[in-house]
Amino acid sequence: MTTPSPQALKDTLTHCLAISDEAAVQIFALLNYTPVAGSGPEWFFEELEQARASLGSWAEIGKRLKLNDAGMSQFTLLLRHFQQLVPGSESAQSATPHQVIAALRYVSWLEKMREKQPALKWTASLPASDAESQFQGKAQIRAVELMLRQLISRAWPDKAKLSTHLTTLLGVSAVKRSQSKGEKGDIISGLMFSELASVLVDKREFNRFYAPVFNSSSQGFLVDQRKTLQAFLDEIRLMRNQVVSRQPLSAVQLALLENYVHEITEPVQKAYREGRTKVDPSAFQHADPAELGQFFQKNGTDTGAVQDSLQKEQYKAPDEVSEPVNLLATVLWSAVAVALVAIFGVGIYLLTHLNRDTPNDGKLMGEHYVGFMKNAPTGDVTGPRLELQHQGIDWTPENFRSAIMRGDRKVVRQFLEGGMTWQASWAEQPLARDQQDVLELLINFRSQMDEPEPCRRMISTISDAMARGESLTSMRKTFLETFCWQSDVVEQERQAWQQALQREKSGVGGAVKWSDIHEQIYDTIR
């Protein structure tokens, strides 16, 4: 697979920055807000925060942009990620692949927003695509799909065991459909793109079979490499659907696709070169037009999303049950029925008796019941998940993270009460702004923080902020004390403090007195 050249990355990022700036001006005009002069994603995000304060809420901004809560959450999430990686136009001089991906993802969302709000009419764009670009895009999608097939086939060389395993993961109907549509003797060839991708990124499957292939020295775009694969593959699935319906991909989509494919295939290509896998992604990139046409006609539109975890289908094999087992089952069910009748009778007696003695107990019981349902556990459709659904907010980690970033205490609480897990890195922006109400909520639900080894990044982020003149606030101390108390973390920070002292004594410490910073952090966590 081709790697985007440094000049191509620079040119793409420059175009994206121009689109972002022009779109920002039109968005502020639509909001009747006059920003201070400036440019770049960081400027736009800061001014958008001011516009929100002026209008009263993000919901009002969403209303004018014709975005619901979920759409507004996605917009702010993508913008925040963009401005974190690309603060201003000077970043284009040495563009990185991750910066370009963040820019393209944001610009892609701007395109969708422009379709919903006709008042947005910016003209800046990426260079128009041609027939050759469309053909290359189709070939790239095909190459990724073939690579997924090969990775799964290599993980399960025994076809009978593979069929059984896929039945467990995807269900009987999916496997039967795959067998009927696929090539004879090749069950993998009939699976939908989303099914292939879901098998790859499933938590257990990925850790068991595919993590060694995708492990590389660099982190994924979303830090977690499996999550990065899930997000990129799902967007490729949507592009694939466009190809199937014979709709051309936009210039932004083609640029995104090129970068996605490189991020997905490069670790596998590296593993192939090092002999860690026999799957060679470069072997799938060449195809003639007729072959491509047949490939995309085969499975049609794919409506299933790429899932984070595949729920095993519970089904019963149609084996004949023996007569003794039937007799035993009958006896057991009879005993259960008798027990239920007895419990029911006792329940009626207690309720009647209690109602006669304490007439207000029924009211109190009702109040307790409603309160319990309001704080329902994960999966209860009458709890916080339903409340979020009524607000137009999907139950996704992305929407949860966006609510944390923008300080939406109500939505954050609903996600937490519904059982959604969170990562310590999501608290970086609220910690920088000292948004105590949201931060206190996260601390109260500390048991749902599932980021592995969060301390290295947390300490690095906080120490960098202190080097810029920010203080070690009480909430920063609370987060450090809560998550970074382990003895090895404490020892590493003590060593960092001692090393900073030695550098300063030798005269190579620089303008920032790092020893004071590390000492404060060390005193907090020890």
The one-digit pLDDT tens for each residue of the chain (526 residues) are: 567 788 889 999 999 999 999 999 999 999 999 999 999 999 999 999 899 888 888 888 999 999 988 888 888 888 988 988 888 777 777 888 999 999 999 999 999 999 999 999 888 888 888 889 999 999 999 999 999 999 999 999 998 999 999 998 998 988 998 888 888 888 898 999 999 999 999 988 998 899 889 875 455 787 778 888 999 999 999 999 999 999 999 999 999 999 999 999 999 999 999 999 999 999 998 888 888 888 887 777 888 889 888 865 433 333 333 344 445 555 556 666 666 656 666 565 555 454 444 433 333 333 322 332 333 334 444 468 878 887 778 888 988 998 898 888 889 988 998 888 999 889 988 998 888 889 988 988 888 888 888 888 889 889 888 888 888 998 898 899 888 888 888 888 888 888 888 888 877 656 677 888 888 999 898 8
Question: CA 366 to CA 310: how far, in whole Å?
Answer: 37
- Rounded to whole angstroms, what are the CA distances from 9 to 14, 108, 270? 9, 16, 21
Predicted pLDDT of residue 346? 57
340-359 burial string, b = 16+ CB within 10 Å, else e?
eeeeeeeeeeeeeeeeeeee
Query: Identity (one letter) of the amino acid at 468?
Result: R
Q: Which amino acid is at 302?
A: D
Number of Cα atoms under 13 Å in the Cβ half of residue 177? 11
Q: What is the pLDDT of residue 184?
A: 83
Q: What is the DSSP letter of 209?
A: I
What crossing angle do the helices spanning 225-244 and 193-201 adopt, rounded to 10°? 180
**Cβ-count burial 433-458 (b if 16+ within 10 Å, e if not):** eebeebbebbbebeeebebeebbeeb
Phi, psi of 223 (to 5 degrees): 70, -60
- DSSP one-letter code for 32: T
Asked if 272 contacts 280 with a C-beta cutoff of 8 angstroms, the reply is: yes
**Cβ neighbour number for residue 175 with a 10 Å cutoff:** 22
Alpha-carbon distance of 198 to 230, in angstroms, equals 8
Let me know if 375 is exposed, middle or buried by CB neighbors in 10 A (0-12, 13-18, 19+): exposed
Q: Could you give the CA distance from residue 182 to residue 322 in angstroms, rounded to a whole number?
A: 37
The length of the chain, given as a count of residues: 526
Report the C-alpha dihedral over residues 54, 55, 58, 60, rounded to 10 degrees.
Answer: -170
pLDDT at 240: 93
Write the DSSP string, 306-370: PPSSPPPP-----PPPPHHHHHHHHHHHHHHHHHHHHHHHHHHHHHHHHHHH-TTHHHHHHHHHH
Q: How far, in Å, are 333, 442, 471 from residue 430 at the CA level?
A: 56, 11, 14
pLDDT of residue 329: 52
Q: Amino acid identity, residue 435?
A: Q
Please give the sequence-ordered ranges of beta strands (E in DSSP) within 128-193, or none if there are none: none
State how far the Cα of 117 lies from the Cα of 111, in Å rounded to an integer. 10
- The pLDDT assigned to 216 comes to 53
Q: What is the pLDDT of residue 378?
A: 41
Helix pair angle (474-483, 455-467), 10° resolution = 160
Residue 381 phi, psi dihedral angles, 5° rounding: -70, -10
| Spatial CB neighbours of 419, under 8 Å, sequence gap ≥ 6 | 377, 378, 379, 448
Contact 405, 430 (CB under 8 A): yes
Tell me the CA distances in angstroms from 435 to 404, 427, 440, 454, 476, one per residue in order.
Answer: 10, 9, 9, 20, 11
Q: Where are the domains of the chain?
A: 6-116, 131-298, 385-439, 452-525
pLDDT on residue 258: 94
- Residue 160 has which token pair? 């009978």
CA 57/CA 407 separation, integer angstroms:
11
> Which residues does 258 contact at the CB level (< 8 Å), separation at least 6?
2, 4, 137, 140
Give me 399's structure tokens: 């929407």
Cα separation, 106 vs 110, in Å, equals 6
- Tell me which H or E stretch contains 137: helix 131-155
